[in-house]
Structure 1
Amino acid sequence: MSQLTHGTLLKDENRSHLADRGAKSKMHHIPLTRIQKLICKRMLESKLTKPCFYLEAKADITELMAMRPKLRKAFGVRITTNAFYIHALALAAQEYPLTVGRLDGDCIKIAERLNVGFAVNAPQGLVVPVVKDADKKSLPDVAREETLLTDKARDNRLTLQEIEGETIALSNLGAYGIDSFIGIVPPPTSTIVAVGNVIHTVVPTDGKITERKIVSLSVAADRRVVNEIYAARFLGSIKEHLQNPQREIQRSKMKYQN
């Protein structure tokens, strides 16, 4: 007797041979590190306990990107795109404080400090250093701290104090060619903003065809803490800060000089 399997006619005598081969195949087991175990636990907890919704918008950062060389010269510090995102996120969260709130029983607790955790791909795995009081810092100060924390993360030199206290999260996969994505809200936060790659897009402007630099922004939020309209305004505020770099530079100059 024969059997047709995956389009191939097999005789009975071959079936036992194939079964033996399958039984002998082995899987390679990779033990989880302590950090990986913690991430697994936290992400599962988030997905099971937080009823999240997701919004996405596009921001035109052409002017912002063009000003980077001038800013480096003016402030004497290298400003990465991630620093811009952290700074804009902090200013927007200051306007919309529920984004740094969390559900606690029958009330929502607003965090006393606006601490932005941002994901860094390090040799030991994904780590999340935290820029503390980001809303009170100038763009150059945020840029210095972001660079320092990123370097320490990649060298496995972060202290416990530098990875704790996160009240809102940022994840940027632009460097990996990802156009857009949705992040998982990490406990104990209620909001995460995800940023994609900068896309060169041809658009009509005042009757002319121009090339613009467009980035995708998405927000994932715990619906128990933040509603859709509130989150939309929050995302719109981030977009506004990114699209009006001159205003943010003037703001940073005032903080920087003080």
Structure 2
Amino acid sequence: MKTYVPLTRIQKLIGRRMLQSKRTKPCFYLERKADVTELLARRHALSKALGVKITSNTFLIHALALAARRYPLVLGRLGDSGAAIDIPDEINVGFAVNSPQGLVVPVIRQADRKTLAEIADEERTLTQSARSNKLTLEQIEGETIAMSNLGAYDIDTFLGIVPPAASAILAVGKVLRVAVPIDGRCEAHKQMSLSLAVDRRITDGAYAARFLNLIAEQLNDPERLQQEDPQ
């Protein structure tokens, strides 16, 4: 006997939006690794020093926003005429959260203008609201770039679907221990997979590669990431 599982309202909405994006956005994909050995080693001490829990997502949102400030074309969307690219004046990072009601995407607005501690505090508040079904409309609107992290679900790497409101999404996999040759010997390092999906109408491969490389470089150097001044 067949079993029928009715779709929730959120599942129907997400399905329509993702199908629309897949049909209308010709995306290409880039992948690379980031060495997060030092970053993860500092996380707990940094959380204590700042008085707020710093997660992997905190670092990722911070790095993504700062890289987008340097490479703003990844935020662009094709204008109604199809003859120009509209670049928004805000870097608003939407990050996927798995809630009891389904996948939701709260948004940290003007993420490039916020410190690591401010992002961590807002991330915690939004995640809690998402999981208790208390997100407001304002908290899920205005996304200009997206991120999805499935590392906690033991996923090595994956490719995200660019949401309709954005032109790029960063997909993040789990942290893997790898042997890295350094000065004739092998050292155990921690690496995280980063995959970037980008609308080809908005940017080309070289531009997107520089953008993704900057994200990885910032994650490789947590001191640089922490000290970057928001504007």
Q: Secondary structure at the match of 1:32?
A: coil
Q: How does 1:87-166 map to 2 (within 5 A)?
A: 87-104=62-79, 105=81, 106-166=83-143
Q: How does 1:1-258 map to 2 (within 5 A)?
A: 26-104=1-79, 105=81, 106-251=83-228
- The runs of at least 4 aligned residues of structure 1 exceeding 3 Å deviation read none
Q: Secondary structure at the match of 1:225?
A: coil
Distance 2:175 2:154 in 1: 9
Distance 1:39 1:251 in 2: 35
State the 1:123 CA deviation: 0.5
State the 1:250 CA deviation: 2.3
Deviations 1:64-119 (A, max 9, x none): 00111221121111100011000000000010101111011211000121100000
State the 1:28 CA deviation: 1.7
Amino acid at match of 2:185: K
State the 1:188 CA deviation: 1.8
Distance 1:219 1:250 in 2: 25
Deviations 1:4-54 (A, max 9, x none): xxxxxxxxxxxxxxxxxxxxxx32222211111111111000110000000
In structure 2, the gaps of 5 or more residues are none
Deviations 1:150-188 (A, max 9, x none): 111111111111011101000000000001000000002
Amino acid at match of 1:248: L
Distance 1:62 1:182 in 2: 23
Distance 1:154 1:165 in 2: 20
Q: Secondary structure at the match of 1:204?
A: strand
Larger radius of gyration: 1
TM-score by length of 1: 0.86
State the 1:251 CA deviation: 2.8
TM-score by length of 2: 0.96
Amino acid at match of 1:91: L
Distance 1:145 1:202 in 2: 35
Distance 1:174 1:51 in 2: 26
Alignment RMSD: 1.2
Q: Secondary structure at the match of 1:187?
A: coil
Deviations 1:198-233 (A, max 9, x none): 001111111222100000001000000011111000
Q: Secondary structure at the match of 2:65?
A: helix
Match of 1:22 in 2: none
Distance 1:59 1:94 in 2: 20
Give the structure, 1 or 2, with the largest relative contact order (CA under 8 Å, sep 6 or more).
2
Amino acid at match of 2:25: K
Range moving further from structure 2, 30-39 or 226-235: 30-39
